[in-house]
């Protein structure tokens, strides 16, 4: 049910679009975790920290600085190992990974298995906010379900979770679930050979996971789906199939959809960008010799995030290191083995996602606008609204917020502002 007046929505459309903000490079758009030019419960201690003198580290280049896609590294040839032609980072640029339960991120790591013996990793942050006295009555929990983009992982939401914890002003109990979608992060699905990224399958996965999680506790829930890029397509589809994951959980509690937040993806611009995406994949490295090289790529040419602090928690979860047939994860350990014979490789094979790109985004605007709930669209630039969204935005059918200085992963680049927008959304449309 819509819960806001048209005039209120229009006023919300310019929260961070200040006249003094730097406008993103108009020659580039961002899509699905990749970039391309436009075409017309145990705590673990931290082993290392970013030293004070390192805090000013900035990438030597970003994708917005690159005028043409033909400027590939290694003389125009696709790099097979990013370390080979990458200049070493400055001697003082020591960046160490963080883990999921460090420094106020998540409280719990959960594994959910389905009937096909596929395992999905879920991180949970619980009991956030001011917990009201129920006076013997059932207290409704606001549940945020966060779905990452490709090829990110659930830890892409960690900077937002940390900020939300520190600055939460809500008067109701809040919990946050961040889910590793199939073939991302630490979710494991061996039966399809790591190649099934279909929208329908991912929707079924998340619905199964949510029903399992919600069945473990007798709590009334108002749920807000937050999806980034590819995850936004999954979230929009789930919003249209609410009964699939809110009904028949148990006989005692009420679970409902209370909001949908889409982060930096628009159907029209995404579909137009598809012809260039295969070329962009040629510039993507397949491995890194050390975690330092991986961080350098992430903060520079890779453009995963602009924030060193966000990269420390988010980017290592996209990689794994194989040695003697075994795979090691950085989600539970922040040590790095400097072993050139055991390179770091990506967990998600982005090449295998290519057959599904069109499916993810075709019809997404209609799905988003058709959802019978309060809606918000958060964008890193204003130039990518397609016609249906432009008309709907002018009619005040959803809240739009612009982050002109952010890259594609707004929740990582600007977690403070992102958190403020989410909290305002909850206060106005959910927790009333």
Per-residue 3-state assignment (H helix, E strand, C coil) for 243-287: HHHHCCCCCCCCEEEEEEEEECCCHHHHHHHHHHHHHHHCCCCCE
pLDDT of residue 224: 99
413 and 306 Cβ atoms separated by less than 8 Å: yes
Whether 35 is catalytic? no
Whole-prediction pTM: 0.77
Is the confidence at residue 424, as pLDDT, over 60? yes
Whether 408 is catalytic? yes
Count of CB atoms situated within 10 Å of the CB of 323: 12
Which of 154, 187, 229, 365 is the catalytic position?
229
Which of 102, 264, 293, 413 is the catalytic position?
264
Of residues 8 and 115, the one with the higher pLDDT is 115
pLDDT of residue 341: 61
pLDDT of residue 280: 80
Q: Cβ neighbours of residue 101 under 8 Å, at least 6 residues apart?
A: 41, 42, 43, 44, 107, 109
Secondary structure (DSSP) of 296-354:
HHHHTTT-S-S-HHHHHHHGGGGEEEEETTEEE-SSS-------TTS-EEESS-GGGGG
- pLDDT, the chain, mean: 78
Which of 35, 183, 184, 408 is the catalytic position?
408
197 and 149 Cβ atoms separated by less than 8 Å: no
pLDDT of residue 329: 54
Question: Phi and psi at residue 60, in whole multiples of 5°?
Answer: -70, -25
The structure tokens listed for 390 are 């432009």
H or E segment to which residue 35 belongs: strand 34-37
pLDDT of residue 11: 41
Of residues 196 and 26, the one with the higher pLDDT is 196
How far apart CA 158 and CA 314 sit, in angstroms, is 7
Question: Phi and psi at residue 119, in whole multiples of 5°?
Answer: -115, 135
| Residue range 30-59: mean pLDDT, rounded | 33
Secondary structure (DSSP) of 80-139:
SSTTTTPPPPPTT-------TTSTTS-SEEEEEE-TT--EEEEEEEEEES-----TTSPP
pLDDT band at 135 (very low <50, low <70, confident <90, very high): low
Whether 153 is catalytic? no
**Closest alpha carbon to 98 in 322, 263, 307:** 307
pLDDT of residue 186: 95
How far apart CA 247 and CA 245 sit, in angstroms, is 6
Q: How far apart are the first and last CA of the chain?
A: 13
| Angle, CA of 111, 194 and 159, to the nearest 5° | 50
pLDDT of residue 209: 98
Is the confidence at residue 189, as pLDDT, over 50? yes
Domain containing 132 — which CATH number? 3.40.50.1820
What is the domain count for the chain? 1
In three-state secondary structure terms, 70 is: coil
pLDDT of residue 197: 96
Name the residue range of residue 214's domain.
1-432
Count of CB atoms situated within 10 Å of the CB of 2: 14
Q: Are strands 119-128 and 108-113 parallel, antiparallel or unpaired?
A: antiparallel
């Amino acid at each position: 049910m819509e819960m806001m007046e048209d005039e209120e929505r229009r006023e919300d459309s310019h929260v961070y679009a200040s006249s003094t903000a730097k406008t993103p490079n108009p020659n580039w758009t961002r899509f699905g975790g990749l970039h391309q030019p436009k075409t017309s419960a145990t705590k673990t201690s931290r082993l290392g920290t970013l030293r004070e003198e390192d805090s000013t580290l900035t990438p030597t280049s970003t994708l917005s600085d690159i005028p043409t896609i033909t400027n590939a590294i290694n003389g125009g040839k696709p790099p097979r190992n990013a370390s080979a032609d990458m200049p070493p980072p400055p001697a003082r640029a020591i960046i160490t990974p963080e883990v999921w339960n460090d420094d106020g991120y998540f409280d719990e790591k959960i594994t959910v298995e389905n009937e096909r013996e596929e395992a999905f990793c879920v991180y949970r942050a619980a009991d956030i906010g001011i917990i009201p006295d129920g006076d013997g009555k059932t207290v409704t929990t606001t549940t945020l379900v966060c779905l990452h983009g490709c090829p990110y992982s659930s830890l892409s939401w960690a900077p937002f979770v940390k900020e939300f914890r520190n600055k939460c002003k809500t008067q109701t109990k809040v919990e946050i679930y961040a889910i590793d979608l199939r073939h991302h992060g630490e979710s494991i699905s061996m039966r399809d050979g790591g190649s099934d990224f279909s929208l329908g399958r991912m929707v079924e996965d998340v619905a199964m996971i949510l029903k399992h999680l919600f069945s473990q506790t007798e709590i009334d829930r108002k749920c807000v789906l937050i999806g980034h890029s590819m995850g936004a397509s999954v979230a929009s589809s789930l919003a249209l199939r609410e009964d699939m994951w809110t009904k028949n959980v148990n006989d005692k509690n009420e679970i409902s959809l209370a909001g949908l937040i889409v982060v930096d993806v628009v159907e029209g611009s995404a579909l137009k960008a598809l012809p260039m995406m295969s070329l962009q994949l040629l510039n993507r490295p397949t491995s890194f010799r050390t975690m330092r090289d991986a961080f350098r790529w992430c903060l520079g040419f890779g453009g995963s995030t602009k924030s060193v602090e966000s990269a420390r928690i988010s980017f290592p979860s996209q990689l794994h290191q194989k040695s003697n047939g075994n795979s090691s994860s950085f989600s539970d350990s922040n040590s790095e083995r400097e072993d050139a014979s055991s390179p770091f490789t990506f967990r998600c094979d982005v090449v295998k996602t290519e057959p599904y790109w069109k499916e993810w985004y075709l019809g997404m605007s209609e799905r988003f606008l058709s959802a019978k709930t309060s809606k918000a669209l958060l964008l890193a630039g204003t130039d990518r609204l397609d016609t249906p969204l432009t008309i709907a935005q002018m009619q005040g059918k959803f809240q739009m917020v612009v982050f002109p200085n952010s890259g594609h992963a707004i929740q990582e680049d600007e977690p403070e502002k992102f958190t403020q927008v989410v909290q305002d959304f909850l206060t106005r449309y959910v927790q009333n």
